Amino acid sequence: MTERLAAVAALAQRFPALAAIALGLIAACAYPPLHLWPLGLAGIAGFVWLVFTAGSWKQALWRGWWFGWAHLTLANNWIATAFTHQAKMPEFLGWLAVPLLCIYLAIYPALAALAAHLLARKRPLWAFGLVLAGAWIVTEWLRGWVFTGYPWPPLGLMLLGGWDTPGLARALPVTGTYALSGLTLFIAASFLAVLAERRWVNAAGLALVVTGTMLAPSLHIAVTRSADAVEYTLVQPYIPQSEINDGSKFEEQFARLARLSAKGRDRSRLVLWPESGVPDYLEDGYPTRYYLQMTAGGDPKLARARIGTVIGPQSTLLTGVVNLNIGTNASGVPAAVSARNSVMALDGKGAIIGGYDKAHLVPYGEYLPMRTILQPLGLSRLVAGSIDYLPGPGARTLDLGPQGKAGVMICYEIVFSGHVADKANRPDYIFNPSNDGWFGTWGPPQHLAQARMRAIEEGLPVLRSTTTGISAVIDANGVIEQSIGMGKAAAIEGLIPPAKPPTLFSQWGHVLTLAWAGLFLILGLGLPRVLALARSRG
């Protein structure tokens, strides 16, 4: 066995770029929907060894880059599916877009590998792992906000447990997502270090601890809800992406929403509809030609009143909507000049009682960056329409009276650790409407998994309503209480799970992230010297 491993190691050193690519692909299999986390840890361990044995800073940099490029390309393969739902650009561009995007994203793992080589190349393997983990935390944090940020997927996502357990992600309240990624890397490096020294008992013990933590059940919040717990009806209407903008389907889509929402209209409850769920414009102030067939009279008040009759007089609705900003075109005719991806709160009479505009917009999905340069080259957004969406002001809490205080994160926004709740006005729960019809088979389960991480991190339940799946109610431990699978039209009912007290991360945010990075770096750089000094004096 040892001889075989030595042969594999020698081959990897002869072809380090191919080895890094293979290890990156192996590690990406740890993410949903495959969730082969032991294989993922093995891939990361191989990556640590490959960087540790690099002979120069250039080798370390390139080994980190190749690993990151392959790893993130496979993990983000769902992006290519979005190109099959638009007509302006060839579908094959999607399969080019993902590896091209990852040319940039791979810079961050490359920088982590470079930093570890420069700082810790002469230190023991376990100390090198600590330094690499600290550097990874910093670079993953940077990836989350530089150039608007793209943190999908964080490395620590692979250690989120199954639907009924948080796994090692139970540490999120005190680490945050990016520090959990560093911890994931250090665990893999620790396996590597004890195996390299043939300390089989230590390796078995570490494997037992990690496996036990991954499989251990959650310390559930009490099932009994308080007397003032909010009742909900969460709807997944199953609107395929091909029907989202099909005007002939709008009435049918609304009828489906109405049918699934009808049960419980005589009670006080919160009704939740997804992003892209309402096929009409509900704000006042649009020219008549902007109203769709759901409002036969061309009056938004009629549309809202119709919705009020669906949800019932004591209910409150949170639904995804598109709002237009009306100006004038070159001819002086009223026209839409921009749009907002929004959530609107309606009471049982159809009155607007609150709203939220999506703040973190998707490049190429909701706006075209550098439009004056890229549009003449034939590039366009991946969604219908030529006008760009404008961002809202950021996380805010909607006070819905008897339905509690709702935080709102629309679709992709839920992946941004530390930016999902208003710290000054903490909500009781987070509503995450989404349209996951774009994202194939890998995107929706990864999206759901990241929503679970936000629930654990913030100590808040998350309620996800999607057009096609996966919709779910997630408690503050990250456990999925109820769900609706992909490709189904259904509704689920219950009481919103209670929030936990504010977590350490919810209070300190990424100050805590950088503190963990500093701790890893200090331990990796300082402990070997302390131990050497202690041995010399002993």
Q: What's the pLDDT band for 52 if we cut at 50, 70, 90?
A: very high
> Is residue 90 over pLDDT 80?
no
**Based on the number of CB atoms within 10 Å of its own CB, is 31 exposed (0-12), middle (13-18) or buried (19 or more)?**
buried
pLDDT for 377: 47
- Tell me the pLDDT tens digit for each residue of 333-387: 788 888 899 999 999 999 999 999 999 887 766 655 544 544 544 455 455 556 7
Point out the least confidently predicted range of 156-160, 238-242, 402-406: 238-242
435, 245 in Cβ contact below 8 A?
no
pLDDT for 370: 47
pLDDT for 438: 74
CA dihedral for 317, 230, 432, 482, sign (positive or negative)? negative
> Is residue 230 over pLDDT 70?
yes
The helix/strand/coil state of 460 is coil
Interior angle at CA 277, CA 275 and CA 278, nearest 5:
125
Q: What's the pLDDT band for 80 if we cut at 50, 70, 90?
A: confident
Point out the least confidently predicted range of 154-163, 225-234, 303-312, 401-410: 225-234
- Tell me the pLDDT tens digit for each residue of 28-47: 999 999 999 999 999 999 99
pLDDT for 373: 47
176 Rama class: left (phi>0) / alpha (psi -120 to 50) / beta: left
Q: Which of 476, 398, 347, 401 is nearest to 228 (CA)?
A: 401
Q: How far is CA 368 from the centre of its chain?
A: 21
Tokens at 379, concatenated:
């590039």
> Rounded to whole angstroms, how far apart are CA atoms 366 and 68?
27
pLDDT for 269: 97
pLDDT for 221: 53
Q: Which of 231, 233, 236 is nearest to 404 (CA)?
A: 231
pLDDT for 386: 64
Q: How far is CA 418 from the centre of its chain?
A: 12
Point out the least confidently predicted range of 285-299, 315-329, 404-418, 517-531: 285-299
**Based on the number of CB atoms within 10 Å of its own CB, is 190 exposed (0-12), middle (13-18) or buried (19 or more)?**
buried
> Is residue 401 over pLDDT 50?
yes
Options 3.40.50.1820, 1.10.760.10, 3.60.110.10, 1.20.1250.20; which CATH number does 231-499 get? 3.60.110.10
The helix/strand/coil state of 384 is coil
- Tell me the pLDDT tens digit for each residue of 450-488: 999 999 999 999 999 999 989 999 999 999 999 999 999
pLDDT for 374: 47
Domain boundaries, the chain: 2-219+510-537, 231-499
Instruction: Name 491's bridge partners.
Output: 235
What is the pairing mode between strands 270-272 and 462-466?
unpaired
Helix intervals (H) in 76-199: 92-105, 107-120, 125-143, 172-175, 177-196
